[in-house]
Amino acid sequence: MHLVNRNFLTTEEVYQDLFHKIETLVYMPGVRISENDLCETYGVSRHIVRNAITQLKAQGLITVYPQRGTYVSLIDMKLVEDILYVREAVEQEALYRVIDLSDTTELIDHLDANITEQKKIISHEITVDDFNTADTAFHRNLLNAVGKGNVLDLLKEEYVHVKRWKNFELRDEKRYEQIIRDHQGIVDAIKKRSPLDGRNALHQHLDTVTNLRDVFTTANPEYFIRP
């Protein structure tokens, strides 16, 4: 969003811009946020900035320490793990139903096309945002196939914490290739109509906390809440 060149920004616009920057790690976990700097950047009053910060604080994205200042919240891996646990339960049930469908031809065509789009990230033909959009569409296609396309929207507000974790993962470009392989494994299981292969592939794909937490939290402990 290009807000700094606009006049008369609302609290909602400032909030949305800050939200996006926190989600995409423009503002890294633990970085200090200056109200004065934000007022100057957006050309708005302190009242508008404080209202936006209040909303972000309510979502657990901002932490205010009395006498110390305002900071972007550290990534809470226990919260991320809990949200992904719920998501996997939903998608495992959806995948089980997908494999039981009488005709998955159209779905497989959509998923194959989606993976082709995702692969463009490797040659830098698409952006990280484009990749994330394609990734989301892949999973929504699975849910749409069994009439549950909107279920993940129930987790939308909380899911920003997972997205921060995911965007942290994607700073390692090797993760793109692994995600694409995971998606291909899910599609292969649907083609083979193998519930066990599907379950294993989806678990491998979504259980990133177990697979990667120690790798990143050890290398960059300053960005994470310590257990």
Tokens of 168: 């942290």
61's CB contacts (< 8 A; 6+ apart) are 19, 22, 72, 73, 160
Output phi, psi for 122, to 5 deg: -65, -35
* Whole-angstrom distance, CA of residue 84 vs CA of residue 79: 9
36 and 145 in a single domain? The answer is no
52 and 94 in a single domain? The answer is no
Residue 167: give the domain boundaries.
77-223
16 and 91 in a single domain? The answer is no
207 and 95 in a single domain? The answer is yes
Query: Looking at 47, 72, 97, which one is the last position of a domain?
Result: 72
The region that residue 19 occupies, defined by phi over 0 for left and psi between -120 and 50 for alpha, beta otherwise, is alpha
163-174 per-position pLDDT tens digit: 999 999 998 889
Region 42-49: mean pLDDT is 95
Domains in the chain: how many in total? 2
Query: 133: domain CATH number?
Result: 1.20.120.530
Tokens of 209: 């906390």
Region 114-143: mean pLDDT is 95
Longest Cα–Cα distance of the chain, Å, equals 63
pLDDT(5) > 70: no
pLDDT at 7: 62
56 and 146 in a single domain? The answer is no
Taking CB atoms within 8 Å and a gap of at least 24, the contacts of 108-111 are: 108/187, 108/190, 108/191, 110/141, 111/138, 111/141, 111/142, 111/183, 111/186, 111/187, 111/190
Query: 21: domain CATH number?
Result: 1.10.10.10
61-106 per-position pLDDT tens digit: 999 998 899 999 999 999 999 999 999 999 999 999 999 999 999 9
Query: Looking at 36, 56, 72, which one is the last position of a domain?
Result: 72
- Are 55 and 159 within 8 A, CB to CB? no
HSE of 37, CA atoms in CB hemisphere, 13 A: 6
Query: Looking at 53, 72, 91, which one is the last position of a domain?
Result: 72
Supply the pTM of this predicted model: 0.88
pLDDT at 211: 87
Tokens of 192: 């083979």
